[in-house]
Every structure is written in structure tokens, then in C-alpha cells.
Chains A and B, each alone.
Chain A
């Protein structure tokens, strides 16, 4: 059976929803020296950075602006009612999607980074102090690493990092050593955006809860491509970004267990988040609005829900199967090519991305050459600088896949990587 025949849905048909995939970019590898061109089909393999937006989502956002653009929670008039209902219901859609109890557990934020900061400021600055500790992992994205590092400096709390093994997994013995009775928060990336590792969140949550600590899982790379249930995972906080899952930029979600969110002070003050204001004092709106000060990203919030509906129509199990197929194929083919070092766990046990280096070729040079073949990959430290230090490399190239990518596109990647390797040999 050809690999294509193992697709779990009709990928070609789905690609029609993404006109950008038909773009031509870069230059023609067959006619050297012609400078920037527009004659090479785009092969977009930078989905872990941001994914493309299908027409139904673009249409939903456009429809809001065209038909019922109005501020939310402020007007009695019809447009405001329509906008408010759509924006509020978007919270329900997001809540359902990740198994939260309801909208009261879903705060819309700008992105994963802001969700992390919300908890770090509203909970961390209040609750942490000398003698406490926060446990992270060596594979944290800067969104979590820098945030807790700085909150640690401001509060005097110790910040600890669980070791990553040579295979790119968390050292769970180390985790068990580091998480102790002084641990207040365990903040861990669900799927690593560099190694592709799928971390055992449930096990970490058990460890944390045994010591009365909270768990915050960073779902930026897990929610886009696998079914996630926050209650099953056992996390207290969870965050993800719409722009990595077919949705608009400027919107993301923080899940927080209701009783914890309830006990937290607001993060931003202003309009929309208050119930009653006098010159002397103010009281707060119900959850989640208490944490959504000012005019929110209304169109983006509604678009976020449309993205989820789009993904649900395909089915997250199928999306995950497609990612697994592509990741394993890419891992195998790059390995077979030779001269390629791949970071992280084996091909059959990782999220839909592969970070690698080609012997003798700097990742930035590789990315420049791939760009010439119309192939978009990310080169750099992927916001995990300390992890790259541990890996002993300054940069890696990363190909990351999404539901519209194909086996042929990975073949194109592998061929171009081979060309780059030969050019530098």
C-alpha cells in the first residue's frame, strides 16, 4: 500500500480550503541565478510556528466585520447582542473542545504566552515567595521558561528544571526528586515544539498533586493536532493559541480550574471586567470576564470557534493520525538520507514535527537553500535556547506538519535537504 493511501481523510480536497497553498514562491531550482522568483510551488512546513487559515474561518471573521461588527457586553442594540452572543459562545466551543466544564473555565487571551503570563502575574506574584519552588523542564518554550524565571527572581521562589534524557524525554526520576512539598507550580510543555516529545502530563500532574502543587501544561503544540481533555490530563491550567490550529492570530485560551480562577485576583483592570465601580473600590465580573479587561479580540474569538468547528468536522483523531503518518515518514526518510541528525524521540512516538541538522551545514544556510526550493521551514532555536545549549547546537532546522501537508511535500523536503548536503560536502 502506498503511503498516500494511508491518509485518514481526503487531503487533496481539504487543501482547496487553503488558497495560500497554491502560491508560488522562491526561485526555480532548474534555472539558477535569476533571483527571487515566483515559480516554485510553496511547500509550507512551518506549522508549529503558525498554521494557515482555511476559507471557512476567514469567511467567519469577514462575516463578523461585514454583518454584525459591534462591541461586546456594552450595547442593548441588535448588533451588539449578536456580537456578544457569538463571542461568548466561542468560549463554550473552546471549552467543549478541550473538555473544560464551561465558559467560566476558559479565558480568552492574546496567545499561549499571555495565558502563561496571566497565571504568573495573577497567581505567581501573589502566592510565591522565598522557600517556594516552581518546577519546569529543560524543554520549556521561552513562553513558560522566561516567565517563571522572572517571576522567580521577583518573588524569591526557586525555579527548577527537570532533565531531558539523550532520547529527548523527561527524566521522570529527576522530576520526582525535584517536585517536593515546597513546589507550588509545575509548568510543563505538553508536546515539545523542538523535540516533538509528547510528555506524560498525567504522571506529572499526579506527582504535583501529591505535593499540593498546581500543574500548568502548555498545549500550544498539542491542541492543534490531537484530542485533548484537560480533566483527563488532570491539569489545573492549560493554554494554547488559535493561530497554530487554523485560527486567527491575536487569540488564544487559558483553561483554569474554576475554583482556582475564582480565587485569583484579576490580571488586567479596566472596562468589561468589573461589575460595580465607585471612586473608592470596584468589584469584578463573573468568570471568565473578570480576566478579559477592555474590548477583546472579538472577530478573532469568533474565528477561533470557527477553526475548532473546522477541525472537529475532520475529527481530531484523524488529524492526529495524519500528523503521526507524516512525522514518522519524515523521520524515516531524513534518517535514510544520511548525514542528518534528528533530535528527539523515535519517529513513531512524537508530535508532528522534526527538528534536525545536516552535517556541515548551518541551519540558517539550510533554511535559505530550502527556501529556494519553495520550502518553508524554521531555522533557529525555536524559542528553546537553553535546550539548544544542552543539545550542544546553536540552531536546528525544523519541519512541522499540519493536516494539509502531504507525503509528496516531505519527499520534496528530503530531496532539497540532500541537495543542500551535497552543496556543502
Chain B
């Protein structure tokens, strides 16, 4: 099949139907919410850090949205365990599509990167690098 259905490989569908690390952390070091208003995708990411604040120790996410955004957030939540915060900050769109393992059609990239953007922005707010009033929206 072409791009569309190819996006819905078993792995994506599996993460969509059985999201990993779904829920909330009781005491997150930071929590952040972002959305794609036109899709109605909303994702909250809760992150717990090690004592030095350099490494991610725990992640929970929750939200509502399409299979691409939800599966991407679910896969990301697994990937983030044990990841250095610096590394999270460096993740770009290619890293996300690589993680998903499928080509994402141009109109759907904003769905795929929402979870990553929420995690990055949450972390930057936590580090005072971003104004907490800035909303996370991954579309123009």
C-alpha cells in the first residue's frame, strides 16, 4: 500500500491500541500538555528525573488523538526511560520518524512529533529555558 496504510503497520496499531506508560506520575519533576487544535490531538507528558536532573527516570503520558500521535507518544515514552535530558532536547523530526519505523506523509508529521514536542517543551520550561505561558502546538 502507499503512504497512508503503510503508516499503519502492526507496531503502530499495537501502540495505539495498547499504549505503554499510559497514565500520570504521582510526583513528576515536570508535566506539560500540548495539542494540535485542528486534529484535536492532546497529549500530556509527565516526566521524573534523577537527582542531578540530567537523566529521565520515569515517564507517563496520556491524552487523546489519532493513531499516529498516540503511537508516537507511546513509543517515545519507552525510548525516554534512561535517556539524558540533553538527548531529548536534541531529538528532531527524523529521530521521531526513525523511531516510528514508517514514512509519515507530510500532512501527518505534526501528529507524529506532538509527543516529542510536549516532552521537550516541558523540560525546557522546567529548566527556565522557555516561558511557561508558551503553548505547545505542532502545527502552523
Q: Give the interface of A toward B (CB within 8 A).
A: 26-29, 31-37, 40, 361-365, 368-372, 380-381, 385, 388, 393-395, 423-424
Task: Report Cα–Cα, A33/B105, bound state, in Å.
Answer: 14
B67 touches A362 (CB 8 A): yes
Distance between A141 CB and nearest chain B CB, rounded to angstroms: 15
**What class of interface size applies to chain B in its complex with A?**
20 to 34
Task: Report Cα–Cα, A372/B64, bound state, in Å.
Answer: 24
Which listed residue (A27, A361, A364, A381) contacts B5, Cβ 8 A?
A27
Task: Report Cα–Cα, A36/B6, bound state, in Å.
Answer: 10
Q: Does B81 contact A (CB under 8 A)?
A: no
A381 touches B38 (CB 8 A): yes
- Which chain A residues border B1 with CB–CB below 8 Å? 27-29, 31-34, 372
A27 touches B39 (CB 8 A): no
Which listed residue (B13, B38, B64, B105) contacts A368, Cβ 8 A?
B105
With known contacts A394-B64, A423-B13, A364–B108 Cβ distance under 8 A: yes
A380 touches B2 (CB 8 A): no
Task: Report Cα–Cα, A29/B2, bound state, in Å.
Answer: 7
With known contacts A35-B103, A394-B64, A364–B2 Cβ distance under 8 A: no
Q: Give the interface of B toward A (CB within 8 A).
A: 1-8, 13, 16-17, 37-41, 64-68, 103, 105, 108, 111
- Which chain B residues border A31 with CB–CB below 8 Å? 1
- Which chain B residues border A361 with CB–CB below 8 Å? 67
Task: Report Cα–Cα, A29/B39, bound state, in Å.
Answer: 25
Task: Report Cα–Cα, A37/B3, bound state, in Å.
Answer: 9
The 10 closest A-B pairs by CB, nearest first: A394-B40, A27-B2, A372-B4, A362-B66, A368-B4, A32-B1, A372-B5, A371-B4, A364-B66, A365-B67
B2 touches A372 (CB 8 A): yes
Task: Report Cα–Cα, A423/B67, bound state, in Å.
Answer: 12
B6 touches A35 (CB 8 A): yes
